[in-house]
Structure 1
Amino acid sequence: MRYDLVIFDNDGVLVDSEPISNTILAGYLTELGHPTSYEDSLRDYMGAAVHRVHDLVLERTGRRLPADFDETLHSRVFAAFERELEAVQGTDAVLGKLTADGVAYCVASSGSHERIRVGHRKTGMDAWFRDENIFSAQDVGRGKPAPDLFLHAAERMGVAPERCVVVEDSPLGVAAARAAGMDVYGFTAMTAARKLVGANGYFVDMGELPGLLA
Structure 2
Amino acid sequence: MSAIYKVTKAEFIKSGTRPSHFPPPLQPEIAFGGASNVGKSSLINSLVGRNKLVKTSKTPGHTQTINFFNINDELVFVDLPGYGFAKVPLEVKAAWGPMMERYLGGRPTLRAIVCVMDLRRGVRDDDMMLIESAPLFGIQPILVFTKADKFGKNAGQQRLREIARELGCPPGELVLYSSTNGQGGEQLWDRIRQVTGV
TM (norm. structure 2) is 0.32
Structure showing greater Rg: 1
TM (norm. structure 1) is 0.31
